[in-house]
């Protein structure tokens, strides 16, 4: 029986590419989404991947949503914590709401999504958790104190939880994308991309969502059990650590 993979924010952008790649690799995939019903319906129609709507910043909603996924497809073996938002602002102008929204969606969601599947993974002695962080969680970014803090927190979550899951056959890893050619990045003024972004990327181009997806497929494989607590930096040489 195919392993069940659940991808948050899995119907658009990087998440959609991850969902599609996991299905192509033989997984039964469920994609969570937050609010764009039209995009989710189109994604399901095009790919055959089931979509489920809930807010990952709400713990009770996550418990209920995961229960629906498992009732339909079986226990979740692979969890990809991909959902994320930005509410950019210079810190001296940032509101408490902008801070709370980003921390809740990008960081607290890791607890909200992982905790309900963790005991099942422990009992089955197998699990794969991948958290999509960001290059800006590694190096910081002006105007993104909230976002950078949340994505740096993702990496701490991964390193600590990996130690707890290791003897139970559960790996926990992170992928840190750089600037990827998603709708969000494509919406940036091309002149800004050309002048302010591309010169800092060693290979001289934006990444593609499928390149992030390939990293995830690698990390969640059954035979990737010796890789845990690790971070794959997929940023085209923008930031090297």
DSSP string, 50-109: EEEE--TT-HHHHHHHHHHHHHHH-SEEEEEE---------GGG--HHHHHHHHIIIIIH
The CA angle 32-35-37, to the nearest 5 degrees, is 85
Q: Which of 85, 78, 167, 179 is nearest to 130 (CA)?
A: 78
* Known active-site residue 147: yes
Per-residue tokens: 211: 């390149």
What torsion, rounded to 10 degrees, do the Cα atoms 198, 215, 109, 144 define? -10
**Catalytic one among 27, 33, 52, 147?**
147
CB atoms within 10 A of CB 20: 21
Q: Which residues are catalytic?
A: 147
């Amino acid at each position: 029986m195919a392993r069940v993979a659940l991808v948050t924010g899995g119907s658009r952008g990087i998440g959609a590419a991850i969902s599609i790649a996991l299905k192509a690799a033989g997984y039964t995939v469920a994609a969570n989404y937050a609010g764009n019903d039209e995009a989710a319906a189109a994604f399901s129609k095009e790919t055959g991947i089931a979509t489920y709507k809930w807010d990952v910043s709400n713990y009770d909603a996550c418990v209920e949503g995961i229960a629906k996924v498992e009732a339909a497809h079986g226990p979740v073996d692979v969890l990809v914590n991909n959902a994320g938002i930005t509410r950019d602002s210079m810190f001296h102008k940032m509101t408490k709401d902008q801070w709370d929204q980003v921390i809740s969606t990008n960081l607290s969601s890791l607890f909200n999504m992982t905790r309900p599947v963790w005991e099942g993974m422990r009992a089955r002695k197998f699990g794969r958790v991948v958290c999509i962080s960001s290059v800006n969680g590694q190096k910081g970014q002006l105007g993104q104190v909230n976002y950078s803090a949340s994505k740096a927190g993702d990496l701490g979550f991964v390193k600590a939880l990996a130690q707890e899951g290791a003897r139970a056959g559960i790996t926990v890893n992170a992928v840190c994308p750089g600037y990827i050619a998603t709708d969000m990045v494509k919406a940036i003024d091309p002149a800004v991309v050309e002048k302010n972004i591309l010169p800092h990327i060693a290979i001289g181009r934006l990444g593609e969502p499928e390149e992030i997806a390939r990293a995830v497929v690698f990390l969640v494989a059954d035979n990737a059990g010796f890789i845990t607590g690790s971070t794959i930096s997929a940023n085209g040489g923008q930031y090297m650590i």
